[in-house]
Structure 1
């Protein structure tokens, strides 16, 4: 692993040698970002998402399909964080001469990291769509929600998504030299965005039309809670598009504009945006959910108390 730029498209899952085979690949200034920054951001986002997962597992009030899906979305973000931390750690160790890896070992490491990132992309898009569908059912089929979205069905959906993400990611990396892989990823991205946009647009339009007609208090409270969840997921979707958009534009340009080397030279910035998505998502969960925010505070305080007690015991 020499640098993030020389393996830029490998880190984006496809065509890692495009920049080296380009005749004009060096005509544009490359954006170099310190490995320490990648490592720090990856470590912070990893800790944040671990806290979210632990909080959802610990608090029984959060044991509902929507929070199960959010938990899985946090795990998807963790895949990006783990892959970034591991990759950066190997880069730093290699650059400082503390690790000498064989080409085969590095190739296997690249493949594992690429599969993790690809799984994160596919699973994140899938869970964002699943959460949108869950909010849609909550709002428009409130009385039948618990019979439609049972815990067993939620677990089955989660299992199918993870299985499909793992299998498809493995196939994508195995056949990364085929342009069909990029077409599949970009198509999947566009389909999920259209699906989410249609659901959210319908939800907000109907909520606006019926907002003055709701007079039953319990139903009003339920719909208000559901709309709050829909707004939260709209924010998550917007952040995902902003952070992952340049990545998918990069893939599209690989197919349509191989001479756009200046855009390719900014690839490290797109990697930073992807890591920032994993870092921002937990903050959105905590800000939008009072119950989750309360549990996260308890976890942080318990961790601090444990560290203080440990230090005191060592000193004594």
Structure 2
């Protein structure tokens, strides 16, 4: 991709090199949100870089607060919250990569940055690895949390022996190692369509995996509820089902926010030169805004669904405000 002194040529996942996107995204401008039509009648929504920066910073602060709250409150030191903490880290990767990239683009726009093209390419690769690691790890931890809720509901009496802290740490380490490794391979071989196939396949497999677990959990939960209640564990079952519902909301938000991006990848394989598909390609930045919104919404879901986490966040905010005063 041409490395001209303009943000429209800044090499990044925001201007992906996957053909034919380079031809349709190279002319992206950042000074307006007004929709424009091309010769094919396609509407392209212009999104200012300032909006990317603002959403990225808000999301970054929110996810840092969630991670801080989980670390600070010992009552949240359990496998489920360890996994939620990792999900927040995944969201934070999107926020950090977006903030760094947008700052470079804005500085480049205003002529305040003079960096060698080779350095920009390395920075681009790092940012792309972070974003790719985020999506792979997010999907993996959503599956992990689903499995954890499944064990909690259907194997309540054996939960602590099945999901030990040691096993949770091993699972977390494996997920992060696999996410980073696969992301590096994806970026190295980004020109191969097999990379897109792998990402889309992984997305579909994780959705099916979660759907199967949810179906089993919600259809048979009432049967196990009676059994668990007989052992005076009714409250735990209620808490577990609340956790399952929270995960369902998280997954739903993930699908809504990341769905257009994966549809984008599917269309690259299915109809790379079709005019209608090209119209879809032209609004790639809009899909990136949705991805950033996912990172921004997730912490709000944690806080709303978990009373303990919400209480800790309120205490942290109060302390921060007092220190500021």
User: Do they superpose with TM above 0.5?
Assistant: yes
Distance 1:17 1:108 in 2: 20
Does residue 43 (structure 1) correspond to residue 57 (structure 2)? The answer is: yes
Counterpart position of 2:308: 291
* 1:163-174 equivalences in 2 (<5 Å): 163-174=177-188
Distance 1:12 1:98 in 2: 21
Distance 1:221 1:158 in 2: 28
Counterpart position of 2:96: 82
- Give the gaps of 5 or more residues in structure 1: 309-316
1:33-66 deviations in Å (ceiling 9; x for gaps): 0100000000000000000000000000000000
TM-score normalised by the chain length of structure 2 = 0.89
Counterpart position of 1:159: 173
Decide whether aligned partners of structure 1 residues 253 and 12 sit closer, same or farther in structure 2, where only a CA change above 3 A counts: farther
CA contact (8 A) 1:76 1:119 kept: yes
Aligned length: 304
Counterpart position of 1:11: 13
* 1:209-220 equivalences in 2 (<5 Å): 209-211=223-225, 215-216=229-230, 218-220=232-234
Distance 1:212 1:140 in 2: 12
Distance 1:186 1:62 in 2: 34
- Give the gaps of 5 or more residues in structure 2: 28-37
Decide whether aligned partners of structure 1 residues 102 and 16 sit closer, same or farther in structure 2, where only a CA change above 3 A counts: farther
Counterpart position of 1:313: none
Does residue 29 (structure 1) correspond to residue 43 (structure 2)? The answer is: yes
Report how far residue 215 of structure 1 moved.
4.4
CA contact (8 A) 1:13 1:176 kept: no
Counterpart position of 2:213: 199
Distance 1:171 1:153 in 2: 27
Report how far residue 177 of structure 1 moved.
0.3
Report how far residue 17 of structure 1 moved.
5.0
> Secondary structure of 2:17's partner?
coil
TM-score normalised by the chain length of structure 1 = 0.92
Distance 1:218 1:58 in 2: 30
Decide whether aligned partners of structure 1 residues 13 and 69 sit closer, same or farther in structure 2, where only a CA change above 3 A counts: farther
CA contact (8 A) 2:14 2:285 kept: no
Report how far residue 15 of structure 1 moved.
3.2
Report how far residue 287 of structure 1 moved.
0.2
Q: 1:53 aligns with which of 51, 58, 67?
A: 67
Distance 2:10 2:44 in 1: 13
CA contact (8 A) 2:129 2:184 kept: yes
Distance 2:173 2:281 in 1: 36
> Secondary structure of 1:30's partner?
strand
